[in-house]
Amino acid sequence: MSAIQPSVAQDRSKQASAPVGGSAPNAVGSVGAPIEYILHLADNAVVLGQRNAEWCGHGPILEEDIAMGNVSLDYIGQARLLYQLAATRMGGDATEDKLAYFRDETQFRNYTLLELPHNGPLVGYAVSDRDYATTVVRNFLYGALMVLVWDALEKSPDADLAAIAAKSLKEARYHLHHAADWLVRFGDGTDESHQRAQAAVDHLFPYTEEFWTPSVAEDAAVAAGAGVDVCSLRAAWDAIVNETLSEATLVRPQVRGYVPEGKHGRHSEHLGYLLGEMQGLARAHPGATW
């Protein structure tokens, strides 16, 4: 990772004056989202980008292999812009690479949903074939959230974040279309594809409960006037999800009880393995470039 600076950071002197973690003005007449909030968005993108990239060279069909590689590139591109923004606001020696490669598991603020492997419920050290229905269902549940989040953040008075949101929304719409199309194909497909799609929905749906319990960072972003109240998106998310599940002849499971806490830094055992792979090279050769 290197080089592209967030637009807005055109004039670096303005950026550098934004205090760490603060919601102080980052540009004239504008407000800044808290750094922890930007990291939450960035970590979501990088973790799902890394996870989906596991299909590279292993896709169920060539077209989907390429599609998942491209979706991952979008996510990693979004993560880079967000990490660059966070690093600029943190100042000092913060860089996008340090934020992506040199923070540990408990410092990551991504949803637990995004770190789970591409298969049903298994302990972290178990080996299993990847299941594309799991990939598609996760991309759908998260994609339906992110079109709404970016749509709202595009109007954020934090001009830097709004600029990233405007680009990400264009990409998120294609991600959601892609996932929704495959969800319908799987659900309303053969007996086996239907059964596997329903199993993936049953497995992953409970993890979406985390979307609707705001973290301190999310609350702070709303208080600063720069974030989005996630609970206000729930009805629209329900509409997208219910409509598509119904078209896919799949049943939405009843969810209650456990609420995952990945965005608070309390993760499943799977994130460590993912980060081990993602961060290993950068940590073995600190400062390496190519």
Partner 1 sequence: MSTVVEQVWASLAHLTDPEIPVVTLRELGILRDVTETPDGVEVVITPTYTGCPAMGQIEDDVRGALDEAGIAARVITRLAPAWTTDWISDEAKEKLRVYGIAPPHTTRPDVSVVKFMRHRPAPDAVACPRCGSIHTVVSSQFGSTACKALYKCLDCQEPFDYFKPY
Pick the stretch among 18-26, 67-75, 128-136, 259-267 that binds partner 1 (CB under 8 A). 67-75
Q: Does 20 bind partner 1 (CB under 8 A)?
A: no
Q: Does 137 bind partner 1 (CB under 8 A)?
A: no
Instruction: Map residue 84 onto helix, strand or coil.
Output: helix
Interface characters, 142-161, with partner 1 (x: CB under 8 A) = --x--xx--x-------x--
Interatomic CA distance for residues 27 and 8, integer angstroms: 9
Cβ nearer to partner 1, comparing 167 with 264:
167
Identify residues 78-117 at the interface with partner 1 (CB under 8 A): 78, 80-81
Interatomic CA distance for residues 259 and 212, integer angstroms: 9
Cβ nearer to partner 1, comparing 53 with 220:
53
Identify residues 162-221 at the interface with partner 1 (CB under 8 A): 162-164, 166-168, 170-171, 173-174, 176-178, 180-181
Interatomic CA distance for residues 279 and 186, integer angstroms: 34
Interatomic CA distance for residues 112 and 200, integer angstroms: 15
Interface characters, 219-238, with partner 1 (x: CB under 8 A) = -----------------x--
Q: Does 243 bind partner 1 (CB under 8 A)?
A: yes
CB of 42 to partner 1, least distance (A): 12
Cβ nearer to partner 1, comparing 6 with 262:
6
Cβ nearer to partner 1, comparing 73 with 199:
73
Cβ nearer to partner 1, comparing 13 with 254:
13
Instruction: Map residue 266 onto helix, strand or coil.
Output: strand
Q: Does 5 bind partner 1 (CB under 8 A)?
A: yes
Q: Count interface residues toward partner 1 (CB under 8 A).
A: 48
Interatomic CA distance for residues 277 and 98, integer angstroms: 16
Q: Does 244 bind partner 1 (CB under 8 A)?
A: yes
| 261 strand-pairing partners | 266
Alpha-carbon torsion (97, 102, 106, 112), positive or negative? positive
Which amino acid appears at position 218 of this protein?
A: E
* Residue 253: closest CA among 201, 210, 213, 288: 201
Q: Does 42 bind partner 1 (CB under 8 A)?
A: no
3-state secondary structure 173-202: HHHHHHHHHHHHHHHCCCHHHHHHHHHHHH
Q: Please say whether the beta carbons of 75 and 45 come within 8 A.
A: yes
DSSP conformation letters of 214-236 = --HHHHHHHHTTSS--GGGGHHH
User: Which position among 239, 251, 255, 281 is part of the footprint of partner 1 (CB under 8 A)?
Assistant: 239
Q: Please say whether the beta carbons of 110 and 262 come within 8 A.
A: yes
Give residues in contact with partner 1 (CB under 8 A).
2-8, 10, 63-64, 66-67, 70-78, 80-81, 144, 147-148, 151, 159, 162-164, 166-168, 170-171, 173-174, 176-178, 180-181, 236, 239-240, 243-244
